[in-house]
Amino acid sequence: MPLTMNLVARVHAFAARHRLWTRDTRVLAAVSGGSDSVALLLLLHHLGREGHLRLAGAVHLHHHIRPVEADADAAFVQQLAARLDLPCEVGHADVPALARAAHQSLEVAGRRARLGFFERALSSTGADRVAVAHTKSDQAETVLLRLARGAGPRGMAGMAPLAGHRIRPLLDVSRTDVRAWLRAQGQTWRDDATNEDVSLARNRVRHEVLPALAAVNARVEDALARAARIFAADAELLDELARAQASRLVARDGETLLLDLQGVGRLPEALARRVVLGALDAIDASREHGWDETEAVLHGPGVSTDLGRVRVERNRQKAVLFLRGLAPVTVHAPDVGPWVLPVPGMVRHLSGWWQLDAAGPMAPDEAPPPSDRCAVLDADAVGRHLTVRCWRAGDRVQPLGLGGRKKLQDVFVDRKVPRDQRALVPVVVDGQDRIAWVAGLVVGEPFRVTPRSSAVVVLTLRR
């Protein structure tokens, strides 16, 4: 098989394995002008012509870091998109000014600017996903950087193929593969001079650390990418086990979380730390928490500790976590949504309490049987986007088989859902705010699958 078809086939197989798109998914390609993103655009264009997806266009963000070179990068991307007869949206962000204002590095400020630009582009174009050009080589660099910072399995899992609206179709191919493919087609790209600056951590890993490791293992990128997949699977299992333990060891009292330290202390360390991380994230989702914070909660000296915005008060039996400046009184979870759930796609509670996956549309006979963790809905009733939120006072749902509507509060009472757990039950609604699924509890009658249903959407709840 020719090199061109090898790479196209590999990307298509990877996308299918991770359900990155269907033939109706509208995808935007994020193109910087570098080799990886140029290859991404051409590969998606090829797959779009074969009917595997719908390429909605290219997007490019001008960072205003290298004004002259950046102008040329934007012009190059626009010309490439025009050659492919694709629309191209160019955005602008003064990243140096944003970094100074927020006291952040250029890398962090640039990433935040790009994510904001992608969300605006998705909204303005009506696209479903934005594809970014991270490769297996980028994954290897990410794993090493996180290892150097002392990350655990969750961090060592690296970058996910699907993260909200963002997809990474090139995670299974190396930068060397990408450039060989481009050269075989006579396609040029733009080189960013800042990628050679080894004062930047990622560049030092790329140009010095990985070549040194390649002398030990010539397939070091493959090995690190494989390690990331193993860590991702392990982290998913451990997180699920920790959430199950948290349901009995963490209690909500308004804006306060009560942590059973004795119960947590009897858990294996991997689970104990995850239970604490979940509690910290639930109190303050505005920052990342890690080893130092969990150590302070589990083994910190004294009766009171401040962890950023979180105050921890503890004795031998309990730890009380709440935001500084707030008395420890009752509130709901701080992250109550709403969150967009694309179809197909995935959304995860910011504090990791649950994850919802949407698969389809698919033929009714291809769907798994419904269960507490799996809802099968009529695709026409669902549409292309759903929204997930927490329950609200006055919410009503029409359960399957009932002619009338029922208060969601009554559903919780009937199903014996504890009062302090109700804010953690994801409620899936359509564009008219009709309840399609109270996850794990009730499917809405308007979304029933009937003999006339030509396609269905499958929602899966993971805790």
pLDDT (tens digit per residue) in 240-251: 899 899 888 998
- Using the predicted structure, report yes or no on whether residue 351 has a pLDDT greater than 60: no
Q: Is the pLDDT of residue 255 over 80?
A: no
Mapped onto helix, strand or coil, the DSSP state of residue 458 is strand
Give residue 329's pLDDT.
Answer: 35
The string of pLDDT tens digits covering residues 135-183 is 999 999 999 999 998 888 888 999 999 988 899 999 999 999 999 999 9
- Residue 251's alpha-carbon distances to 202, 246, 316, in angstroms, are 41, 8, 17
Q: Tell me the CATH number for domain 339-462.
A: 3.50.40.10
Using DSSP's 3-state secondary structure scheme, residue 12 falls into helix
* Of 95, 97, 128, the residue nearest 112 (C-alpha): 95
**pLDDT averaged over every residue in the chain:** 87
Q: Which residues pair with 427 in a beta bridge?
A: 389, 438
Three-state secondary structure call for residue 376: strand
For 394, phi then psi, to 5°, come to 95, -5
| Type of residue found at 266 | R
* Eight-class DSSP state of 35: H
Assigned CATH class of 3-194: alpha beta
Neighbours of 456 (CB within 10 A): 24
Q: From the CB of residue 426, how many other CB atoms can be counted at a distance below 10 Å?
A: 24
The 10s digit of each residue's pLDDT in 301-347 is 666 788 888 888 877 788 888 887 654 433 333 455 678 888 888 88
CA distances from 148 to 144, 152, 353 (A): 6, 11, 28
The residue extents of the domains of the chain are 3-194, 339-462
pTM above 0.95, yes or no: no
pLDDT for 352: 60
Whether residue 338 is preceded by a cis peptide bond, meaning omega within 30 degrees of 0, is: yes
Q: How confident is the model at residue 108 (pLDDT cuts 50, 70, 90)?
A: confident
* Contact (Cβ atoms closer than 8 angstroms) between residue 137 and residue 174: yes
